């Protein structure tokens, strides 16, 4: 079987080499380390949850009497809306963290029993 050295190469470019060398080199690595966006994501999640809790506190028409951890530290939702917003915020995060912990425990149990 003879291989022709001068066979035409197939170009797999959608642009058929219309770009110049300088345009190709625009996308070369810069050497900079990419920014870690975990902090941005965490702060965004906390901010969105706080805004949701504020909206939920505004939709409530009736007055709610609530306490933080101990019964002597109680508030009224109409007299102190910021504390009520924070109370809803804490409850939302307790639920979110509880679901996350239950997922992790279930995942470990699933690996343990090979389900």
Domain regions of the chain by residue span: 37-113
- Which range has the worst mean pLDDT, 47-61, 67-81, 85-99? 67-81
- Mean pLDDT across the chain: 83
Distances (CA, A) of 97 to 31, 53, 63, 92, 114: 37, 16, 28, 9, 25
In terms of Cα–Cα distance, which of 67, 63, 72, 58 is closest to 87?
67
What is the rounded end-to-end Cα distance, in angstroms, of the chain? Answer: 55
pLDDT band, residue 71 (cuts 50/70/90): confident
Task: Tell me, yes or no, if the pTM score tops 0.75.
Answer: no
Could you give the CA distance from residue 77 to residue 64 in angstroms, rounded to a whole number?
Answer: 5
Top pLDDT among 15 and 26 is at 26
Could you give the CA distance from residue 62 to residue 31 in angstroms, rounded to a whole number?
Answer: 58
- Alpha helices (H) in 2-80, listed in sequence order: 21-24, 38-59
Could you give the CA distance from residue 100 to residue 55 in angstroms, rounded to a whole number?
Answer: 24
What single-letter DSSP state applies at residue 28? Answer: S
Question: What's the rounded mean pLDDT across residues 93-108?
Answer: 95
């Amino acid at each position: 079987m003879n291989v022709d050295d001068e066979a035409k190469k197939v170009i797999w470019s959608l642009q058929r080499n219309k770009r110049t060398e300088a345009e190709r080199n625009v996308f070369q690595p810069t050497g900079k380390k990419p920014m870690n966006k975990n902090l941005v994501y965490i702060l965004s999640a906390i901010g969105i949850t706080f805004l949701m809790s504020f909206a939920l506190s505004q939709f409530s028409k009736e007055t709610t009497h609530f306490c933080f951890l101990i019964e002597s530290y109680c508030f009224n939702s109409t007299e102190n809306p910021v504390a009520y917003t924070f109370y809803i915020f804490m409850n939302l995060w307790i639920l979110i963290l509880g679901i996350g912990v239950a997922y992790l425990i279930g995942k470990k149990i699933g690996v343990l029993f090979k389900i």
